Amino acid sequence: MVCQCGMVKMSSGKWWMCIDYTNLNKVCTKDMYPLLSIDRLVDGAANHMILTFLYAYYGYNQISIPPRDKIETIFMTTDSNFCYEVISFNLKNVGATYQRLMDKVFKGLMAETSNCI
């Protein structure tokens, strides 16, 4: 399955390449992994001596795609075909995949905050 791509001019004047994964997302099963409330995580850090902030804005772009799945992200240009090496923001289950990784990273802290509301 090859996805459509095109360039879109952003309000900042910069150009952004957009890839339409509509067809791929239609055939993917929804990952129902629960997303954590960020408030619970922040509240759980309240009694710790050191506090830092994770810059997670580009977090999705740091998760590698397994080699067997890279072919699903193929897109064409006039010069060649390409595929993603890392997860693209507009893939269907990227939120659940990212949350699963954050659960591993913050495993100790999450256990301490599991009873917070």
Q: Give CA–CA dist 20/115, Å, rounded.
A: 40
For residue 81, is it within any domain? yes
CA distances from 110 to 1, 42, 75, 107 (A): 38, 10, 38, 5
- Asked if the structure places residue 11 within a domain, the reply is no
Series of mean pLDDT values for 10-residue runs along the chain (117 residues): 74 85 84 72 66 62 87 83 83 83 73 48
> Cα separation of 59 and 52, whole Å?
16
Residue 68, pLDDT score: 92
What is the count of structural domains for the chain? 1
Q: Residue 19: inside a domain, yes or no?
A: no
Residue 97: domain span: 29-113
What's the rounded Cα separation, in Å, for the pair 37 and 69? 29
Rounded to a whole number of angstroms, the distance between the first and last alpha carbons of the chain is 43
**Confidence (pTM):** 0.58
